[in-house]
């Protein structure tokens, strides 16, 4: 996604820019997204293998779920081969509990190749798929290698002069914003692939939900200290031609046509010895027809370190949810709710009413203050707030953290945290204890998690007790080849 140019500035803060040729690109992501980070390609010696990055995050304990070690583990690691000053290869492994908890398919591997030719940088991202399935759905254990078709890592960049750069993203022009409140791909879109005359209810087999991201061009004006960028792209999707088509109430299609979804983005970045600041905005035009979770989003981020050792960090993110966001199953190949209480492809509550965040605009804010006691220890205090309808990629989002009947979100979530960054060589350990208070009862109760008198998951959830508050302890461990540190401009 992003490329770096200055070794000293890589991963120096809770943001990581992910650019192969300059420090700034479109957006920043937090060090919690270190799976996408890379180090300065001029640093390592030629013809060498080395561990480039390692990231581990785990929820240790919460009041609502008790001990959670191993339940929500997020792990990623990358191994790099520096062939020459202008060429390197990387293999990357990552696992996410949201996708892999039940079937243990913690085996996503990627291969990346990068080459600098004069003022042009080429980067290609390949994906290794294991445990492939036959047409009948059975797992064969086979493996395939192919292009990662939604990767922002595949990019061609041309540095026209010292102040102007042109970037082409053939699959994904990096449509995400936010650091603490990262949105993931705002421009991720879904469509029915298969062209059936009608579908409803259970998975029809040959017809699937397909997904893609928007490719595009980006123009960046400026240098590593200050720059501005603008980008645009388009992607096609299949959609029925009959005007009365509705994904829930009228799924009969007379014929299908290809339509276009236009994506756009713009932003700015600033960097000095003591301050880093950024603004990023992204959106697309056909969120309603493509079942996207978000229609548009924007984020302001800033961090400043004083000479006294005090560090201040803040972020404000606003997002508009899609009006018809599709609720997909774990594999994202069909809709999750197909049998109870009815076929509900769009996010709905227990009674079949669409959830109240759809089409709404809301915001989230994060403030963190720390003090650099020494080179190895920086404790901090953090305040975070999420609006009732704010939707983003984490489990605290309004579309995930909901009441028993799913009719309401948390209603506004207040979060207070204390933590510290402990540095040991190239390793950084970040324990954090957070107290969460919601307006509505949305947190599970460890003493009454499931009511087994009901035969359905929805019924069990409806009868269980929920709480308004929770306490969460989590830990993160990161490693970077150059020993850069987070929470620093």
pLDDT at 447: 62
The CA distances from residue 476 to 31, 78, 96, 325, in Å, are 10, 17, 14, 31
Note the pLDDT tens digit of each residue in 200-257: 666 666 778 999 999 999 999 999 899 999 999 999 999 999 999 988 888 888 889 9
Contact 80, 49 (CB under 8 A): yes
Say whether pLDDT at 477 is over 50: yes
Sorting pLDDT into bands at 50, 70 and 90, what band is 408? very high
The CA distances from residue 186 to 12, 26, 260, 287, 417, in Å, are 26, 13, 16, 9, 28
Flag whether 409 is in a domain: yes
Q: What is the mean pLDDT of residues 249-274?
A: 93
User: Taking CA 221 as the corner, what is the angle to CA 219 and CA 224, rounded to the nearest 5 degrees?
Assistant: 115
Neighbours of 47 (CB within 10 A): 9
Flag whether 129 is in a domain: yes
Which of 485, 176, 180 is closest to 314 using CA atoms? 180
pLDDT at 457: 55
CA separation for the pair 64, 112 (Å, rounded): 40
Flag whether 489 is in a domain: no
pLDDT at 96: 63
Note the pLDDT tens digit of each residue in 121-178: 999 999 887 655 555 555 555 677 888 888 999 999 999 999 999 999 999 999 999 9
Parallel/antiparallel/unpaired status of strands 310-321 and 361-371: antiparallel
In the chain, the percentage of residues whose pLDDT exceeds 90 is 55
Flag whether 290 is in a domain: yes
pLDDT at 41: 41
Neighbours of 485 (CB within 10 A): 20
pLDDT at 29: 34
More confident residue, 212 or 102: 212
Note the pLDDT tens digit of each residue in 293-303: 999 999 999 99
Flag whether 485 is in a domain: no
Number of H-type helices and E-type strands within the chain:
2, 26
In the chain, the percentage of residues whose pLDDT exceeds 70 is 79
CATH number at residue 92: 2.40.170
Sorting pLDDT into bands at 50, 70 and 90, what band is 440? very high
Q: Mean pLDDT across the chain, nearest whole number?
A: 83
Q: Is 425 helix (H, G, I), strand (E, B) or coil?
A: coil
pLDDT at 417: 98
pLDDT at 98: 53
Flag whether 168 is in a domain: yes
- Looking at the structure of the chain, the number of domains it has is 1
CA separation for the pair 71, 57 (Å, rounded): 11
Which of 262, 327, 266 is closest to 295 using CA atoms? 262
pLDDT at 34: 36
Conformation bin of residue 171: beta by default, left when phi > 0, alpha when psi is -120 to 50:
alpha
> What is the extent of the structural domain holding 274?
7-480
Task: Rank 46-60, 135-149, 378-392, 463-477 by mean pLDDT and report only the highest.
Answer: 378-392
Flag whether 396 is in a domain: yes
Give the pair of three-digit tokens for residue 51.
Answer: 């561990």
Note the pLDDT tens digit of each residue in 447-476: 665 555 444 555 566 767 889 999 999 999
Name the least confident of 14-28, 366-380, 424-438, 443-457: 14-28
Name the least confident of 56-70, 94-108, 333-347, 469-483: 94-108
- Measured on CA atoms in the order 63, 69, 74, 77, is the torsion positive or negative? positive
Contact 278, 307 (CB under 8 A): no
pLDDT at 22: 31
Contact 357, 321 (CB under 8 A): yes
Say whether pLDDT at 383 is over 60: yes
CA separation for the pair 296, 322 (Å, rounded): 8
Flag whether 487 is in a domain: no
């Amino acid at each position: 996604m992003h490329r770096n140019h200055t070794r000293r500035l890589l991963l120096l803060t809770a943001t990581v820019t992910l650019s192969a040729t300059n420090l700034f690109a479109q957006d920043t992501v937090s060090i919690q997204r270190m799976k996408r980070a890379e180090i300065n390609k001029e640093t390592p010696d030629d013809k060498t293998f080395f561990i480039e990055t390692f990231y581990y995050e785990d929820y240790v304990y919460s009041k609502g779920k008790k001990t959670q070690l191993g339940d929500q583990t997020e792990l990623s690691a990358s191994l790099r081969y520096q062939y020459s000053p202008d060429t390197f290869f990387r293999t990357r492994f990552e696992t996410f509990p949201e996708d892999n908890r039940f079937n243990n398919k913690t085996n996503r591997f990627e291969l990346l190749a990068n080459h600098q030719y004069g003022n042009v940088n080429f980067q290609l991202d390949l994906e290794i798929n294991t445990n492939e399935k036959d047409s009948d759905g059975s797992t064969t254990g086979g493996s395939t290698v192919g292009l990662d078709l939604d990767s922002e890592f595949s990019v061609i960049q041309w540095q026209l002069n010292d102040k102007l750069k042109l970037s082409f993203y053939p699959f994904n022009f990096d449509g995400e914003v936010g650091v603490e409140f990262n949105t993931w791909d705002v421009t991720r879109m879904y469509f029915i692939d298969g062209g059936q005359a009608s579908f409803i209810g259970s998975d029809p087999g040959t017809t699937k939900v397909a997904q893609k991201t928007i490719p595009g061009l980006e123009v960046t004006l400026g240098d590593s200290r200050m720059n501005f960028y603008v980008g645009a792209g388009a992607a096609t999707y299949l959609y029925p031609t009959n005007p009365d088509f509705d994904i829930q109430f009228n799924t009969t299609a007379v014929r299908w046509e290809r339509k276009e979804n236009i994506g756009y983005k713009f932003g700015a970045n600033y960097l000095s010895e003591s301050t880093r600041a950024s603004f990023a905005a992204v959106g697309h035009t056909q969120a309603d027809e493509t079942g996207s979770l978000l229609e548009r989003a924007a984020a302001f981020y800033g961090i400043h370190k004083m000479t006294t050792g005090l560090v201040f960090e803040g972020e404000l993110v606003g997002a508009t949810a899609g009006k018809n966001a599709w609720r997909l199953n774990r594999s994202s190949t069909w809709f999750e709710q197909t049998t109870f209480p009815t076929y509900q492809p769009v996010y709905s509550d227990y009674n079949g009413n669409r959830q109240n965040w759809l089409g709404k605009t809301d915001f989230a804010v994060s403030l963190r203050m720390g003090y650099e006691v020494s080179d190895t220890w920086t404790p901090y205090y953090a305040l975070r707030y999420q609006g009732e309808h704010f939707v983003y990629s984490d489990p605290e989002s309004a579309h995930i953290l909901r009441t028993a009947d799913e009719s309401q979100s948390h209603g506004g979530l207040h979060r207070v945290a204390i933590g510290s960054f402990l540095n040991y060589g190239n390793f950084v350990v970040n324990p954090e204890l957070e107290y969460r208070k919601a307006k509505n009862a949305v947190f599970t109760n460890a003493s009454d998690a499931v009511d087994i008198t009901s035969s359905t998951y929805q019924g069990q959830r409806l009868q269980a007790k929920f709480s308004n508050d929770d306490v969460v302890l989590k830990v993160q461990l990161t490693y970077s080849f150059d020993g850069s540190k987070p929470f620093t401009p």
